[in-house]
């Protein structure tokens, strides 16, 4: 696919499932840029970063030019709040915990990103021309209409991040979004406290992320089937 597209800025999308981790390493190792998608947990995000670094090491060993290889790690945000809020409601928990897990999770992901790319392993690759794998905030349109429509944009600002906004969110941000600078790195301790409070309220966050990953994979399968059907119909009509 990458060869047929034949564009240096093309990124091949690979889900961050357990099965996808080896694929990420192999594809990066072949010199192909990757958008790693469907990341919900910090544990899986750490594995994704390791897969990326391992791929860069393979590429370097193969004599490939590291500065032509790019990657983003797509960390999903609003879907986390949707699932956590549903469970909080079922538990009859404190409403002050509602709609905060998505931001906290993403902020701690950025902390993980900072630490990982300051490591000796990453530094050695960066010195050879490699690029950092930029964090990308996905699912940044609010699902709850009572929330500010720019919440997952203005509250997730830091150097080097990408935010893939739906059109409605992009227009809202352009119209009335207030970006005040870094809204991530000063909130690490608050984010950790929130997860302690969620656990105390009975929310199993590991189960939340497993559920979201399974749902995400199923949605991808459905979309793939729809794409194949659409292309098949178009090809047959053109014959």
Please, which residues bridge with residue 66 across strands?
none
Marked catalytic residue, from 13, 58, 98, 143 = 13
Helix (H, G, I), strand (E, B) or coil at 165: coil
| 13 given a catalytic annotation | yes
Q: Is 90 exposed, middle or buried (0-12, 13-18, 19+ CB in 10 A)?
A: exposed
- Chain CA centroid to CA 119, Å: 21
The encoded tokens of residue 69 equal 């290889």
d(CA 79, CA 88): 14
- Residues in Cβ contact with 44 at an 8 Å cutoff, skipping those fewer than 6 apart: 16, 209, 213
Question: Within a 10 A sphere around the Cβ of 155, how many other Cβ atoms?
Answer: 19
Answer yes or no: are the C-beta atoms of 40 and 47 closer than 8 Å: no
Catalytic residues: 13
């Amino acid at each position: 696919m990458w060869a047929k597209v034949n564009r240096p800025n093309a990124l091949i999308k690979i889900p961050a499932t357990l099965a996808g981790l080896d694929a990420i390493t192999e594809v990066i190792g072949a010199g192909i840029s990757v958008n790693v998608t469907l990341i919900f947990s910090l544990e899986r995000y750490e594995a994704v970063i390791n897969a990326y670094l391992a791929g860069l090491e393979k590429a370097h060993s193969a004599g490939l030019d590291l500065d032509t290889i790019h990657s983003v790690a797509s960390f999903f945000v609003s879907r986390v709040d949707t699932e956590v809020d549903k469970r909080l409601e079922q538990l009859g928990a404190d409403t002050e915990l509602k709609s905060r897990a998505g931001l906290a999770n993403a902020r701690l992901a950025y902390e993980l990103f900072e630490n990982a790319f300051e490591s000796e392993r990453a530094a050695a690759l960066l010195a050879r021309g490699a690029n950092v794998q930029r964090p990308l905030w996905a699912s940044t349109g609010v699902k709850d209409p009572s929330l500010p429509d720019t919440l997952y944009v203005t509250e997730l600002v830091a150097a080097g991040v990408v935010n893939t906004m739906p059109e409605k969110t992009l227009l809202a941000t352009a119209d009335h979004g207030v970006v005040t600078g870094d809204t991530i790195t000063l909130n690490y301790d608050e984010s950790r406290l929130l997860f302690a409070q969620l656990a105390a309220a009975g929310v199993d966050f590991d189960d939340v992320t497993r559920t979201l990953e399974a749902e995400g994979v199923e949605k991808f399968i459905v979309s793939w089937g729809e794409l194949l059907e659409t292309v098949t119909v178009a090809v047959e009509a053109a014959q």
